Chain A
Amino acid sequence: MTRTLFILLLLPTLVFSQEILISGSVSDGNRPIELANIYIEQSLEGTSSDVDGKFSLSTDLKGQVTIIISSIGFETLEKIVNIETQDVYLNIILKEGNALDEVVLSAGTFEAREKKTSTILRPLDIVRNPAAGADIFSALQTLPGVSTVGDQTGIFVRGGQASETKTFIDGALVTNPFFSSVPEIPARGRFNPFLFQGTVFNTGGYSAEYGQALSSIILLDTKDLPTNDILTFDINIAGLGGSITKKLSESTSISGNLSYTNLAPLIEIVPQNREWNTAPNNIQGILFLKHKNKNEGIFKNYIQYQKGNIGLSLVNPSNETDNQDIDNTNQNLFINNSFEGYIGNNWKTRAVASFSYDEDRTGLGDDNFSSEEFLAQTRLTIRKRINSGFRIKMGGEIIASDGTYSFNDLSSNVQNVISALYVESDLRLSKTINGRIGLRGEYSSILDAWNVVPRISLSKKISKSSSVSLAYGDFRQVPESEILREQAENLNFEGSQHLILNYQLKSEGYTFRIEGYLKDYTSLIREIPEGTFENTGFGFARGIDVFWKDEKTIPNLSYWISYSFLDSKRLFRDFPTEATPTFVATHTGNFIANYKIGERTTLGASYTYSSGRPYLNPNNSTFLGDRTPEFHNINFNGSLLSDIFGDLTVFYASLRNPLSFQQVFSYRYSDDGASRIAVNPASDWSFFLGMVININ
């Protein structure tokens, strides 16, 4: 009896304290990983893997626990395991990590991404940039290397025109990332910054994976699967919208977004420098499907459609009573299917198949212009980490485009297929030196020409927080469709060569970066007097970009200062002589600040300075010899997080140029050159108000 009682008393203790063995193996898919850390997050019990990648540890925890598996050079894995009464066996495969990234190849690159310590910006820096009004491209304009060109759409990087910068979303080329517009009215980007988890802005010397951009590329990566269902309503002074995100399962989600924007109410309130016939308006819809497979690979299917109108009356400098009406209707469709994940023998793959359609119909007085552009692209990139010091990437792409351009009854068609192959290796030459060497070959059917160009960069870590990088690259681009529709014969790729030297210091809370560059333009298209084009143009750009960011000195204040010095000239298009183009400003500076008040309020301020840019004065014998006045602009913005409707509600407001600095981007002259009109912003100042309600 006593013995039975003793056993009964002891039994619960025995059961309760029964240790469970957690064992398994850690590998990279092929080879075992030795010395990986494996531990239980809740109890910090753990061990490390042996030479065969095997491990075992015991625990008396029960229920759901998180097991952390980490190893230098690999991404840390968190595995949720339910521990009950049986031993647990885990077969862990770690993905290649960022060993090569420890020495960051920073020449020419600005990156905004969460969870990556090497990046200079966070996605929030773009979203809440007071100079940007939640437009990615406007935010990028506050970074060094970009000229402030207020009367043209696009990003003008280091002496390059807007068409020299290309935008890619999840690896797919976006032919027209901006809303359409009319002359002298720059358009905003048509992609919502909240779509993206990462932005890479390459101001030069970029990877061999990308081409067809003489100056710069912008890589936007959309967010992965959402963690929960979200319903959002956005109401602002210029429109309204709503979006719904629904998790169909742990591995699949669908999002839909519909928005309508019309600047008419704002135009009513804010005095305008333009006479609008049709206030800029557009309707936009987005459908986004995401699915994660069992190997953590992610499929994304993104569809965006927008249709817009804009119309105004252009003042004729020869006769101010004889205004010319210009109206534009436009629509864009962008469909992208992408997959990113591991296949086969641990190859990381990104496959892209995209389609876009862009249509613009413009009426100027009695004349009609239109363009219809189709583009289909497929791209496959595979990469593999061979070991901690060597990574290889290779792939190819085919871009087929078909554009029809009409002027009244005349029309022309431009069809082109660009095929490209590329290979690139990341090499860890030592603990402190990383290198990247790449080669890209392209063929263009319309030019019937091909090229093979190198890309090389080196980075040396000179202390724990600083590095020096050097990059060289040769870049080629098919001439713009405006030229090809006139003449495609006897033309070749335009070219540019970049040489960049960068120093970067990044310590906790501070970033300093200075970059000098030389850029040579070769084979630029030049219109010769007989009305034909040839690749005899040339040019150069050289300058220094400086960036300073401080997130530490003053609690809750984050600010950055950027400065660019640019000296650039070229002989191209219809230039009669070598000259500094209109999109080049010698000095550009930005100050961007955000101040957080408590957990709910953020205030921002920005100041932009730009020295005058060249403009064409027919009365001056020196071609593009005049300069516009200096440009000054101040912006303020603020956001307040509230729960007044029971859900998270964000109120936001912004104010542009409240001091009404006179901003002149250029001058338009009368036919005889006797009178001129200043080209200035659509309004001297402006504001914006809105709120977003998030219902989880």
Chain B
Amino acid sequence: MMLTLCVLLIAIGTKAQKQVVSIEGEIESILLKPQMERVSKLNELLARIPTQLKDVNATTKNYWVSYTHYKIGLYHLASDKEQANKSFEKALKTLQAIEEPNSENLALEGTITSTQISVQSDKAWSLSQKASKKFQQSLELNAKNPRTHLGLGKSDFYKPSEYGGGEKVDAHLKKALQYYKEEELNKKAPSWGKDEVYYFLSAFYSREQSFRDAKFYNSLGLKEFPKNELLLAQKEQLN
């Protein structure tokens, strides 16, 4: 009886994980589509998530709904900051509905909060503090969460040097890279963010005028993500 129950639980867990992996894969493939199609496809996905993740618990569902809102917000960021902020707010509201957030939920909340600085620059200091708190909470739950280290690295990258920014960028990003590699051994979702690690490492070294190092990380990134638009644009700049 116990054995049957265990097998059943494992089967359900495996099925749920497969559903999550497929959602993340779908988001990645949407982001490779022409820019015009991306928002509509992401909105379509948003509508499908509750049914597509039918075997998944509410926390995980909320995480992916929030992540999709975040990606929609990022798309709007360049053209419509108000719309972008609305998406970020939706993403945060969905995450904040989670009663017992795990390390991933907190990492995503920190990431979205720090991205909000781009649309609410007047609140930069408080948003940065809020994001930092979320990242710290995330690390307390999982010190090896690569997305938390990515978020911390990005925050430090954007923090003005007058306020001590830029000192821990490479430490966080390289740790993130190491944990991404460990994570790849068991293909679980979420797995997003590794391309950004390469991008920000390259940008950091470029800013420090270590151009050879910048090219190295850009090249590593493009080996893994040959179609990544940010890395391709960065390559152009470095050349």
Contact = CB atoms under 8 A, between A and B. Distances in A.
Given A48-B174, A48-B177, A461-B161, A39 B216 contact: yes
B167 interface: yes
Interface stretch (B109-117, B184-192, B205-213): B205-213
Nearest to B223: A44
Interface string A10-50: 00000000000000000000000011010101001010101
B158 to A, nearest CB: 13
Contacts of A34: 171
A74 to B, nearest CB: 11
A39 B210 CA distance: 14
B19 to A, nearest CB: 34
B164 interface: yes
A72 interface: yes
Contacts of B208: 72
Contacts of A76: 210, 212
A70 interface: yes
Given A431-B164, A431-B166, A431-B167, A35 B174 contact: yes
B118 interface: no
Interface in A353-373: none
Given A430-B164, A432-B162, A46 B212 contact: no
B209 A117 contact: yes
Contact of A37 (B162, B178, B209, B216): B216
Nearest to B217: A37
B219 A44 contact: yes
B213 A37 contact: yes
A294 interface: no
A600 interface: no
Contacts of B162: 431-432, 461-462
A35 B178 CA distance: 10
A35 B212 contact: no
A68 B161 contact: no
A46 B174 contact: no
A330 B213 CA distance: 54
Most chain B C-beta atoms within 10 Å of own C-beta, residue among A46, A72, A76, A461: A72
Contacts of B174: 35, 48
Contacts of A37: 213, 216
A70 B210 contact: yes
A46 B220 contact: yes
B104 interface: no
B161 A35 contact: no
Interface of A is mostly: loop
A431 B160 CA distance: 10
A464 interface: yes
B24 to A, nearest CB: 26
A76 B219 CA distance: 19
A47 to B, nearest CB: 9
Contacts of A48: 174, 177-178
Most chain A C-beta atoms within 10 Å of own C-beta, residue among B161, B164, B171: B161
A35 B164 contact: no
Interface residues of A, number: 20
Contact of A72 (B170, B177, B220): B170
A158 to B, nearest CB: 32
A35 to B, nearest CB: 5
Nearest to B181: A47
B165 A431 contact: yes
B215 interface: yes
A62 B170 CA distance: 30
A39 B213 CA distance: 9
Interface string B93-106: 00000000000000
Nearest to A49: B174
A464 B213 CA distance: 20
A467 B68 CA distance: 43
A431 B161 contact: yes
A543 to B, nearest CB: 30
A373 B62 CA distance: 87
Nearest to B164: A431
A472 B42 CA distance: 62
Contacts of B178: 48, 50
B200 to A, nearest CB: 14
Interface in B108-166: 161-162, 164-166
B157 to A, nearest CB: 13
Contact of B220 (A35, A44, A461): A44
Contacts of B219: 44
B219 to A, nearest CB: 4
A511 to B, nearest CB: 16
A37 B167 CA distance: 16
Given A72-B170, A432-B162, A464-B161, A44 B209 contact: no
B216 A432 contact: no
Contacts of A117: 209
Interface string A43-72: 010101010000000000000000010101
Contacts of B213: 37, 68, 70
Nearest to A37: B213
Interface string B199-234: 000000000111011011001100000000000000
A354 to B, nearest CB: 36
Given A35-B170, A44-B220, A48-B177, A70 B161 contact: no
A444 B164 CA distance: 46
Given A48-B177, A72-B208, A432 B161 contact: yes
Interface string B74-107: 0000000000000000000000000000000000
B160 to A, nearest CB: 9
B182 to A, nearest CB: 12
A197 to B, nearest CB: 20
A35 B177 CA distance: 11
Nearest to B161: A431
Interface string A429-443: 011100000000000
Nearest to A508: B209
A432 B166 CA distance: 11
A117 B208 CA distance: 11
Nearest to A460: B162
A41 B213 CA distance: 10
A432 B220 CA distance: 31
A37 B166 CA distance: 17
A70 B204 CA distance: 14
A50 B179 CA distance: 12
Given A70-B210, A72-B208, A117-B209, A44 B165 contact: no
Nearest to A103: B161
Contacts of B212: 41, 68, 70, 76
A34 B170 CA distance: 11
Contacts of A464: 161
B238 to A, nearest CB: 12
B167 A44 contact: no
Interface of A: 34-35, 37, 39, 41, 44, 46, 48, 50, 68, 70, 72, 76, 117, 430-432, 461-462, 464
27 contacts: A35-B170, A35-B171, A35-B174, A41-B212, A44-B215, A44-B216, A44-B219, A46-B216, A46-B220, A48-B174, A48-B177, A48-B178, A68-B212, A68-B216, A70-B210, A70-B212, A72-B170, A72-B208, A76-B210, A76-B212, A117-B209, A431-B161, A431-B165, A431-B166, A432-B161, A432-B162, A461-B161
Please give me the 7 A-B residue pairs with the lowest Cβ-Cβ distance, nearest first.
A44-B219, A35-B174, A39-B216, A48-B174, A431-B164, A431-B161, A44-B216
Given A70-B210, A76-B212, 16 more contacts: A34-B171, A35-B170, A35-B171, A37-B213, A39-B216, A44-B215, A46-B220, A48-B177, A68-B212, A72-B210, A431-B161, A431-B162, A431-B166, A431-B167, A461-B161, A462-B162
Interface of B: 161-162, 164-167, 170-171, 174, 177-178, 208-210, 212-213, 215-216, 219-220
